[in-house]
Amino acid sequence: MARRSVRRVRRPVREEKVAAPRTWRGVIEEYRSYLPVTTATPVITLREGGTPLLESRLGERYGIRLLVKYEATNPTASFKDRGMTVAVSKAAEAGARGVICGSTGNTAASAAAYAARAGMTCVLLIPADGVALGKLVQAIACGATLIRVQATFDGALDLARAAAARFGLTLVNSTNPHRIAGQRTAAFEVCDALGRAPQALALPVGNAGNITAYWAGFSDYQKAGRIRSRPQMIGVQAEGASPLVQGHPIERPRTVASAIRIGRPASWDGAVAAVRDSGGQFISVSDDEILAAQDDLAREGLFVEPASAASVAGVLKLVRAGKAPHEVVCVLTGHGLKDPEVVQSRAKLPPPVPATLEAIQSRLAPRSP
């Protein structure tokens, strides 16, 4: 064993030099003064938020600065946890018996986890078909009551609203203002990381709660004097589920990106105001463009679900049209493991080989001379 030289310690070691980096406490404690909580609010948290803002290599390739807000590192692997910690904490404060929501899967998984954390019951109304299995597994594991409804997401949400009133449960869809309040923290984090607001922010839009929340977050940070300007908001929808692009509801929304298969966004007005007041735009992308962006991101280690890749697909479409901002943050809303079906259907598992170096070598690409 190599001997280490021992240096004489002249001064006591300063505490801050050896202390572990400060632990992230979850969005309520980190942004308490911006949230509708008091000392009487029980904090139901899984230490959500504090997600990385990363530079993407795609920016270099396309000649812009492209950053991604990687929301997959949240406790249930989607951005929904930011709003859910606030909504469930407020429900607990109000003495709620349980929570309910309609969902394409991620809200359901998040509600199930936070309700379990709070010791509440959780009822989930899910479209009978087309919801990614990984999300339902999360919800079932956390002990939620899962009800598959013969309806689209829009029908399930209508029913959830009515059921909340009938059965005395708290609705935790993004129509609950506490969800929006919590999701604003993502905008705060982007600004805190950059020291200012980005030129533009692109995100996938389904029920339109998140775009409403980001815009509220940037606006509140500006009012508080934390940033000077606000970004252009770019709302990206899948072509077959693009009511905000087309300007009218879609009866039968279709897209491979099941999380945003929504025809009648509940926060329609909030989304329209965000795009209008920021000088931004709504755009739609094809399923092929979404899956290509999903591949591109995975090739740099960012495995996201198809819906999440829509933000990047939208920006790349603007680049090709010569209309892209020079700096944009794309929100990557959820993890690829939640919805692996499409990738799985294209990837073939290779047959096994004997445990020898020769067998390994035969599988490696021949080296270039």
> How near is the Cβ of 207 to ligand F0G at its closest, in Å?
3
> How near is the Cβ of 209 to ligand F0G at its closest, in Å?
3
DSSP helix/strand/coil, 22: coil
Choices 61-69, 112-120, 136-144, 201-209 (CB under 6 A): range interacting with ligand F0G: 201-209
Cα 113–Cα 332–Cα 193 angle in degrees, nearest 5? 100
Choices 100-108, 287-295, 316-324, 361-369 (CB under 6 A): range interacting with ligand F0G: 100-108
Closest to ligand F0G by CB, 112 vs 191, is 112
Choices 2-10, 104-112, 163-171, 214-222 (CB under 6 A): range interacting with ligand F0G: 104-112
- How many chain residues bind ligand F0G (CB under 6 A)? 21
Question: Considering the rule CB under 6 A, would residue 207 count as an interface residue with ligand F0G?
Answer: yes
Question: Considering the rule CB under 6 A, would residue 334 count as an interface residue with ligand F0G?
Answer: yes
Contacts to ligand F0G from residues 246-305, by CB under 6 A? 259-260, 305
Judge contact between 89 and 44, C-beta under 8 A: yes
Question: Considering the rule CB under 6 A, would residue 185 count as an interface residue with ligand F0G?
Answer: no
CA–CA dist 350, 341 (Å, integer): 17
Q: Pick from 127, 198, 209, 253 the residue near ligand F0G by CB under 6 A.
A: 209
Question: Considering the rule CB under 6 A, would residue 210 count as an interface residue with ligand F0G?
Answer: yes
Tokens of 322: 């010569």
Q: Pick from 125, 308, 319, 336 the residue near ligand F0G by CB under 6 A.
A: 308
Closest to ligand F0G by CB, 60 vs 295, is 295
Beta pairing class for 327-332 and 65-70 = parallel
CA 329 → CA 221, 320, 325, distances in Å?
Answer: 17, 17, 10
> How near is the Cβ of 334 to ligand F0G at its closest, in Å?
3
Choices 47-55, 88-96, 101-109, 225-233 (CB under 6 A): range interacting with ligand F0G: 101-109
CA–CA dist 132, 308 (Å, integer): 14
> How near is the Cβ of 243 to ligand F0G at its closest, in Å?
11
> How near is the Cβ of 331 to ligand F0G at its closest, in Å?
8
Closest to ligand F0G by CB, 89 vs 138, is 138
> How near is the Cβ of 348 to ligand F0G at its closest, in Å?
26
Q: CA gyration radius for the chain?
A: 22
CA–CA dist 112, 197 (Å, integer): 33
Beta pairing class for 98-102 and 170-171 = parallel
Judge contact between 202 and 190, C-beta under 8 A: no
Closest to ligand F0G by CB, 45 vs 106, is 106
DSSP helix/strand/coil, 298: helix
Closest to ligand F0G by CB, 56 vs 107, is 107
Give all strands (DSSP E) within the chain, no chain letters.
53-55, 65-70, 98-102, 121-127, 145-149, 170-171, 200-204, 232-238, 281-285, 327-332
CA–CA dist 105, 134 (Å, integer): 9
CA–CA dist 311, 284 (Å, integer): 10
Q: Pick from 78, 138, 170, 255 the residue near ligand F0G by CB under 6 A.
A: 78
Closest to ligand F0G by CB, 90 vs 338, is 338
Closest to ligand F0G by CB, 87 vs 326, is 87
State the DSSP code for 5.
Answer: P
Q: Which of 114, 206, 117, 121 has its CA nearest to residue 156? A: 206
For residue 40, the one-letter residue type is: A
Residues in the chain: 369
Question: Considering the rule CB under 6 A, would residue 127 count as an interface residue with ligand F0G?
Answer: no
Q: Which residues bind ligand F0G (CB under 6 A)?
A: 78, 103-107, 174, 204-210, 259-260, 305, 307-308, 333-334
